């Protein structure tokens, strides 16, 4: 195995990791603010992928351009889900919250199965097969774009949380719900905004994945488990952790694919997940909680 | 009320003698079957309060072990199912030791169980000697009671009925035993239970072992009943959901919960089958809605609702 192959695989792993990071970012945001683990996150991404897929297939809209439609839509859907589905269980025991998002995931996933049938579909855009060479390294262009997009979204989100009033309100509600309510922050609305943004993140990830990833009703299932791994790796609720975790998982998967065939590389990721859960459940970058 | 269980049991015993409908017998067999594996989940999830999202792990171990021992070594599944249960107990002790020793609770425990089940699913898909992604077909030998194969489906009906009654009886005994009270104490408040001298680690591990073994026996039954198992059926996340759904709907942590939930979902599944036959995924979609509805309107399952009514009335 030449070093160029390994380097290219490493680089493509980093690119893929950027996308995972974006999926995990939405998940970690929702968890950080509401302490809710959203099992439906992958199903929402799958719907976003279908939206971008059909807009491209039927309307000829490039997946990146389709974001102009799907991003606001994703936000609205997330906002509505928070209001209709999550609010009733905010005070419920943790396992009932889990079951709620699990039920939502089942519903969304099988609605897609019913609507689009089980066959995986792939979208070919002009740059699907394009690649960029960087010295000896060969980078897939759609992955590079997704990586850049993921970084851009992460940066935007960071700036939003750091400097806008809404972002500050969001952090306040995450930190101390009752205190935030006491100083006049409309906590319920802020929660809905957080879920909306989380869903918008995964919508962006979906659109960026479409040029190089198949779409099927089950694709969310695969991705959400990866996203859980990323979130736990990085530390639940930690942004920098989601980014680092995403890159790590992308690299492990990509390099693993060089040495073992097929889906066996996934075992490495699950094993990593279990190890982190056991030895550092607060994540690599998270702060230990009480 | 005290005689209700015996009346139900008597009815269950005579139904196959009175009714010839294979459809009805098949439906009831599956209802009993899901109640049985639900009871397995219930010990750990309902009584000890440790929600597992990966019980397909034990189901798959049971189904694969008895089937593989039969296909590769000719061992009768009557013995193989106990080997499967033993193996599941072992795996349960290992996963339980890791999870509980490191203090995983709540969502983290649910997720780590999911991850363990996924590891087994991916491994089973990639290992050719366990059938790979195709799975295992149990070779048919006609009517061979010694090999857990029957020409008449009513044998399966009675077998799963016996298994279910034994499981319910066992759980009923457990409920009123010292171990059962310790499990309930841990479920309600683990730190307080430990403060009172309950060894939470040991109690949870025991619950895990019982739960794993029971679920694995169900897996072996399933493999014999359908003569087939593959990685997704055995270890897949959808199966983990199927296993926990019925006790949740019926009422986790109660003897009757899994049974009640199974009858409700089974009846619903059959009722809508005609309507939705040609649409794959509809029944899971409905499960999703039911799950969400149950969490909001029946947070303690149907049993919890019945009890509350009883108290009021």
Q: For residue B183, what pLDDT is reported?
A: 96
| CA dist., res. A202 & res. B215, Å (int) | 36
Mean pLDDT of chain A: 86
Length of chain A: 290
| Nearest residue, CB atoms, A102 vs list B104, B115, B291 | B291
Query: A-chain residues within 8 Å CB-CB of B289?
Result: 103, 107
Each residue of A230-274: pLDDT tens digit?
888 887 778 888 888 888 888 888 887 787 766 777 787 788 888
- Residue A58: half-sphere exposure toward Cβ, Cα within 13 Å: 6
CB atoms within 10 A of CB B194: 15
| CA dist., res. B99 & res. B119, Å (int) | 16
Query: B-chain residues within 8 Å CB-CB of A107?
Result: 285, 288-289, 292
A-side interface with B, Cβ within 8 Å?
Answer: 37, 85, 88-89, 92-96, 98-100, 102-111, 113-114, 117-118, 217, 221, 225, 228-229, 232, 262-264, 266-267, 270-271, 273-274, 277-279, 281
Mean pLDDT of chain B: 90
Q: For residue B167, what pLDDT is reported?
A: 97
Q: Is the pLDDT of residue B277 over 70?
A: no
Axis crossing angle, helix A3-34 with helix A165-175, rounded to the nearest 10: 80
Q: For residue B52, what pLDDT is reported?
A: 93
Each residue of B173-203: pLDDT tens digit?
999 999 999 999 999 999 999 999 999 999 9
Q: Is the pLDDT of residue B11 over 70?
A: yes
Structure tokens at A51: 């939206």
| CA dist., res. B29 & res. B153, Å (int) | 9
CB contact under 8 A, A110 and B102: no
List the domain boundaries for chain A: 3-279
Lowest mean pLDDT segment, chosen from A92-96, A281-285, B309-313: A281-285
CA B9 to chain CA centroid, Å, is 20
SS (H, E, C) B250-309: HCCCCCCHHHHHHHHHHHHHHHHHHHHCCCCCHHHHHHHHHHHHHHHHCCCHHHHHHHHH
Q: Is the pLDDT of residue B259 over 60?
A: yes
CB-based contact A94:A187 (threshold 8 Å): no
| Nearest residue, CB atoms, A113 vs list B115, B237, B281 | B281
List C-alpha distances in Å: A170 to A157, A187, A239, B235.
12, 8, 14, 39
Structure tokens at B88: 């599941």
CB contact under 8 A, B122 and A273: no
Each residue of B86-102: pLDDT tens digit?
999 999 999 999 899 88
CB contact under 8 A, B107 and A98: yes
Query: B-chain residues within 8 Å CB-CB of A229?
Result: 115
Query: B-chain residues within 8 Å CB-CB of A118?
Result: 280
Q: For residue A289, what pLDDT is reported?
A: 45
Query: B-chain residues within 8 Å CB-CB of A273?
Result: 112, 115
Among the listed residues B34, B29, B89, the one whose alpha carbon sits nearest the alpha carbon of residue B248: B34
* B223: confidence class by pLDDT, cuts 50, 70, 90: very high
CB contact under 8 A, A225 and B291: no
Task: Record the pTM.
Answer: 0.88
Mean predicted confidence (pLDDT) in B273-288: 68
Q: Which domain holds residue B273?
A: 4-312
Among the listed residues B178, B218, B200, the one whose alpha carbon sits nearest the alpha carbon of residue B39: B218
Q: Is the pLDDT of residue B271 over 60?
A: no
* B280: confidence class by pLDDT, cuts 50, 70, 90: low
Domain A3-279, CATH number (from 3.30.70, 1.10.4160, 3.30.160, 1.10.3470) = 1.10.3470
Query: B-chain residues within 8 Å CB-CB of A277?
Result: 102, 104, 108, 111-112, 115
Count how many domains chain B has.
1
* A290: confidence class by pLDDT, cuts 50, 70, 90: very low
Query: B-chain residues within 8 Å CB-CB of A88?
Result: 296
CB contact under 8 A, A85 and B292: yes
| CA dist., res. A174 & res. A164, Å (int) | 15
Q: Which residue of A has its CA nearest to B98?
A: A278
- Locate all alpha helices (DSSP H) within A176-264, ordered by sequence: 177-182, 187-209, 219-234, 239-259
CA distance B267 to chain A (A): 19
Q: For residue B166, what pLDDT is reported?
A: 97
Each residue of A104-146: pLDDT tens digit?
998 999 999 888 888 888 888 777 778 888 777 778 888 888 8
CB contact under 8 A, A262 and B126: yes
CATH number at residue B260: 1.10.3470
Query: A-chain residues within 8 Å CB-CB of B285?
Result: 106-107, 110-111, 114
* B158: confidence class by pLDDT, cuts 50, 70, 90: very high
| CA dist., res. A242 & res. A285, Å (int) | 9
Q: For residue A254, what pLDDT is reported?
A: 84
Structure tokens at B220: 């072996």
Q: For residue A45, what pLDDT is reported?
A: 94
CB contact under 8 A, A118 and B280: yes
Pairs of residues, one from chain A and one from chain B, whose beta carbons lie less than 8 Å apart? 122
Mean predicted confidence (pLDDT) in B275-304: 80
């Amino acid at each position: 195995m030449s070093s160029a192959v390994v380097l290219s695989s490493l680089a493509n792993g980093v690119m893929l990791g950027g996308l995972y990071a974006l999926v995990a970012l939405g998940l970690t945001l929702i968890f950080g603010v509401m302490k809710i683990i959203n099992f439906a996150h992958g199903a929402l991404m799958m719907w976003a992928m279908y939206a971008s897929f059909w807009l491209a297939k039927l309307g000829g809209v490039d997946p990146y351009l389709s974001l102009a439609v799907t991003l606001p839509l994703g936000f609205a859907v997330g906002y509505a889900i928070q209001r209709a589905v999550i609010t009733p269980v905010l005070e419920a025991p943790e396992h009932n919250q889990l079951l709620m998002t699990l039920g939502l995931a089942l519903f969304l996933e099988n609605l897609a199965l019913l609507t689009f049938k089980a066959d995986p579909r792939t979208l070919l855009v002009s740059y699907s097969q394009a690649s960029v060479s960087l010295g000896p390294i060969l980078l897939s262009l759609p992955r590079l774009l997704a990586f850049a997009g993921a970084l851009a979204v992460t940066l935007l989100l960071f700036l939003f949380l750091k400097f806008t009033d809404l972002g500050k309100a969001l952090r306040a509600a995450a930190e101390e719900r009752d205190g935030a309510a006491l100083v006049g922050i409309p906590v319920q609305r802020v929660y809905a905004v957080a879920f909306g943004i989380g869903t918008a993140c995964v919508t962006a990830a979906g659109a960026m994945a479409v040029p190089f990833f198949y779409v099927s009703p089950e694709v969310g299932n695969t991705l959400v488990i990866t996203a859980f791994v990323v979130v736990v790796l990085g530390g639940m609720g930690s942004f920098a952790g989601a980014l680092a975790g995403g890159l790590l998982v992308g690299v492990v998967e990509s390099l693993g694919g060089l040495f073992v065939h097929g889906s066996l590389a996934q075992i490495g990721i699950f094993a990593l997940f279990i190890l982190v859960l056991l030895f550092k459940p607060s994540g690599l970058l998270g702060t230990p909680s009480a | 009320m005290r005689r209700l269980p015996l009346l139900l049991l008597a009815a269950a015993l005579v139904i196959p003698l009175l009714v010839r409908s294979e459809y009805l017998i098949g439906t009831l067999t599956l209802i009993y079957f899901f109640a049985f594996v639900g009871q397995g989940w219930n010990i750990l999830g309902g009584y000890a309060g440790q929600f597992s999202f990966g019980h397909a792990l034990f189901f798959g171990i049971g189904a694969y072990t008895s089937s593989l021992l039969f296909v590769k070594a000719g061992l009768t599944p009557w013995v193989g199912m106990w080997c499967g249960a033993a193996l599941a107990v072992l795996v349960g002790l290992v996963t339980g030791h890791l999870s509980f020793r490191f203090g995983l609770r709540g969502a983290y425990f649910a997720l780590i169980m999911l991850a363990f089940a996924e590891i087994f699913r991916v491994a089973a898909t990639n290992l050719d000697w366990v059938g790979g992604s195709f799975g295992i077909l149990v070779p048919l030998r006609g009517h061979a009671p010694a090999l857990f194969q029957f020409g008449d489906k009513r044998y399966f009906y009675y077998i799963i009925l016996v298994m279910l009654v034994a499981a319910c009886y066992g759980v009923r005994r457990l409920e009123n035993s010292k171990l059962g009270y310790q499990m309930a104490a841990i479920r309600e408040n683990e730190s307080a239970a430990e403060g009172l001298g309950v060894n939470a680690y040991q109690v949870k591990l025991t619950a895990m072992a019982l739960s794993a073994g029971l679920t694995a026996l169900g897996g072996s039954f399933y493999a014999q009943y359908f003569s087939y198992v593959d990685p997704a059926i055995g270890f897949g996340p959808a199966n983990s959901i199927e296993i926990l759904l019925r006790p949740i709907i019926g009422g986790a942590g109660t003897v009757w919960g899994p049974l009640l939930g199974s009858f409700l979902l089974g009846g619903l599944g059959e009722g809508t089958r005609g309507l939705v036959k040609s649409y794959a995924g509809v029944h899971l979609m409905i499960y999703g809605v039911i799950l969400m509805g149950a969490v909001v309107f029946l947070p303690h399952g149907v049993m919890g609702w019945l009890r509350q009514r009883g108290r009021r009335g």
